[in-house]
Amino acid sequence: MGTLFVVSTPIGNLSDLSPRAEETLRSVRRILAEDTRRSRILAERAGSKARLVSLHAHNERERTHAVLGWLADQEDLALVSDAGTPLVSDPGAKLVGAVLDAGYRVVPVPGPSAVIAALVASGLPSERFAFLGFPERKGAARRELLERVASSAETTVLFESPKRLVRLLDDLAEACGPDRSVAVARELTKIHEEVRRGTLAEISSYYETSPPLGEVTVVVSPAATHHDLEDRVASARALATELLEGGMKPSKAAKEVAARLDLARNDAYRIVHELAGS
């Protein structure tokens, strides 16, 4: 029987195509691609002579029947998306499910993922995280997503259009509080790669005046637990005391506490001025 290989492809830098991915693309009879024009460039780079067949959100159901026929004829196939790991906010889930239900092998060929790249570059906790894809644009579904991010005990990763980024950051600031930490990763692995880190309020303000271009991934820090807050306040008070006793002015000490402990500036100023008696 044939095998369906789910092949991860570069999210920008073509050098990230793995040797195993290249070998797989050369070995299969057909490549199922979201956009055959874009994937042809990748296939040619890999030296693949496979036939490219379109598989996207609008034809996945009807294409599945043909795929099962090719697998029955002992053809090996590769599934790719325009960039990154297939099925992650891309078509293919229905196809993979049908292939497995029919008893054929599905083999992943791991590789680039904007989700993982943004997460590890964010500086935010990565032990546990949730990927929520593209947020709903309006209505109850969007409110539910914002509430989920606001109360999440793990880091949250989202995709968003650059045109809607500021609105998302503002909505998150309203739901999570303006001082929640966030990282916005843009154009990952490309020439103009940028990862901007700060609070939701700060990053929204930046992109309000500097509209982003290219692919965008948003990483939001977990909600702080009561225990976390107590620990951070205790650490802030200890550091502020040390700085003030060393002769540092309260205003400068507050900035130092906020920067070192990733504490909201208002909270740092309040703690320092309470200790300074001003």
127: CB partners within 8 A, 6+ apart:
none
- Closest-CA residue to 267 (of 242, 227, 240, 243): 240
Helices (H), the chain: 19-27, 36-46, 60-72, 93-101, 114-122, 139-151, 165-176, 200-209, 226-245, 250-261, 265-276
* Cβ pair 159, 137 in contact under 8 A: no
- Closest-CA residue to 147 (of 121, 171, 180, 126): 171
Structure-block tokens of residue 156: 């949250």
271: CB partners within 8 A, 6+ apart:
233, 236, 237, 240, 254, 257
* Cβ pair 216, 160 in contact under 8 A: yes
Query: Does position 93 have pLDDT exceeding 60, yes or no?
Result: yes
The whole-number average pLDDT for the span 138-143 is 95
The predicted pLDDT at position 39 comes to: 96
Q: What is the number of alpha carbons within 13 Å of residue 103 lying toward its C-beta? A: 4
- Closest-CA residue to 71 (of 145, 118, 4, 150): 4
pLDDT (tens digit per residue) in 222-255: 997 655 666 778 888 899 999 998 989 998 999 8
The whole-number average pLDDT for the span 85-103 is 96
Structure-block tokens of residue 251: 């205003």
Name the amino acid, one letter, at 147: E
Do 197 and 158 share a structural domain?
Answer: yes
Do 244 and 163 share a structural domain?
Answer: no
Instruction: Tell me the pairing of strands 155-160 and 129-131.
Output: parallel
DSSP 51-86: EEEE--TTTHHHHHHHHHHHHHTT--EEEE-SSBST
Share of the chain above pLDDT 70, in %: 97
Do 159 and 101 share a structural domain?
Answer: no
pLDDT (tens digit per residue) in 212-222: 999 999 999 99
* Cβ pair 134, 124 in contact under 8 A: no
Of 112, 127, 152, which closes a domain?
112
Do 130 and 94 share a structural domain?
Answer: no
User: Is the pTM higher than 0.75?
Assistant: yes
Indicate the number of domains in the chain. Answer: 3
Residue 137's domain spans which residues? 115-220
Q: What is the mean pLDDT of the chain?
A: 93
Do 105 and 67 share a structural domain?
Answer: yes
CATH no. for residue 124?
3.30.950.10
Q: How confident is the model at residue 265 (pLDDT cuts 50, 70, 90)?
A: confident
